[in-house]
Amino acid sequence: MGNSSYRSDDVMTNALSNHGNMVKRICFVYLRNQSDADDAFQDVFVKLLEADLIFTDEEHMKAWLARVAINKCKDMFKSYWRRNVGPIDNIEETFEDKEESEVMQAVLDLPAKYKEVVYLFYYEQYTVVEMAKLLGQKENTIYSNLHRARQILKKKLGGAEHEYTF
C-alpha cells in the first residue's frame, strides 16, 4: 500500500513540474478567466490522482493531461453559468508584453475548433499527427483548421507584421 501512494506522489510531482504550466495555459486559453482556469487546473490534477493509470512515457502523460484539460474546459464552458453570464476577460493582467497580449487576445477570440489547434501547434509544439490523435480528428481536418485560423489571425493582426509571433 505504501508503495502505491509513493508512486502516486511521484507521478503527481512529475506531472506538475513537467506539465503544470501547459495545463494552466490550456485552461486559460479555453476559459479566458483566471479563476475558472485555476478551478479546471485543480480538477485535472485531482482526476490524475484518482486515475489508476500507468503512462508509457512522458509524451503519453502530456497528451493525457492535455486531453483531460481540454475536456474539462469544454464541460465548464458548456455550463449554465458560462452560457448565460460569459467569461470575464482579464487578458491584459496575464501578459505583460502588449504585442503578446494582442496576439493572445486574437487567439482567444478564435472559434474553439481553431483556438485549440493554434494553441496546441504553436504554444505546445504538437505536430498535426499528434493533434489528430489527441483531438480524435482526421489530419486533414487539423490542417484545414490551422489554415483557416492562420487566415483569420493574419487578417485580424494586420498580416506580415505579426506573421511569426503567434
Tens-place pLDDT, residues 104-158: 778 888 888 898 888 888 888 889 998 898 888 999 999 999 999 999 988 888 7
Each residue's pLDDT tens digit, 51-64: 888 888 999 999 99
**CA proximity to 21, closest of 89, 165, 158, 123:** 123
Name the CATH architecture for the domain at 93-166. Orthogonal Bundle (1.10)
Give the Cα separation of 154 and 79 in Å (integer): 32
0.85 surpassed by pTM? no
DSSP H helical ranges for 79-111: 80-85, 91-94, 98-108
Q: Where are the domains of the chain?
A: 1-88, 93-166
